Amino acid sequence: MGLEEGAKGALTVTAVIANLFASQTTLKHYSTWIFFHNLVSGDSIEITIHVNDPQDVTERIYDKFTVADAQSEPGVFIPFLPTDSFRIEAQKLTGIDREITWVRYESN
């Protein structure tokens, strides 16, 4: 299995739930770095990771976590997930709108 950078970008996170990138719908191994270097005290962002449930042919929440305040180590790595449907959502919970950056990797 080879590995390549699938895409990278930035998202200004607001109170409205938004996808970091378009849903991935090809069977591969996906992983993602998310960088929260712009957060300051009082900010919090919720990240939700969705993957496909092959038994039910629908997306399920794989993981959900909150990142808050200024980060001394602002990178979060979402491990390699073998799936045919992968999506990450971000939503601001407190603070002002902040930009986060991300890099998605995938098997080729």
Residue type, 24: Q
Provide the 8-state DSSP code for 31. Answer: E
Q: Where are the domains of the chain?
A: 3-107
Structure tokens at 72: 């001394």
pLDDT tens per residue across span 24-56? 888 888 899 999 999 999 999 999 999 888 777
Residue 14 has pLDDT above 60, yes or no: yes
Contacts with 88 (C-beta within 8 Å, 6 or more apart), sequence order: 19, 20, 21, 32, 34, 47, 48, 49, 50, 78, 102
Under 8 Å between Cβ of 107 and 24: no
Under 8 Å between Cβ of 85 and 50: yes
Q: What is the pLDDT of residue 82?
A: 83
> Cα–Cα distance between 72 and 59 in angstroms, integer?
33
Residue 1 has pLDDT above 60, yes or no: no
What class has domain 3-107?
Answer: mainly beta
Q: What is the pLDDT of residue 53?
A: 81
Q: What is the pLDDT of residue 33?
A: 94
| Dihedral (Cα; 77, 8, 58, 18), 10-degree rounding | 100
Q: What is the pLDDT of residue 58?
A: 80
Q: What is the pLDDT of residue 90?
A: 97
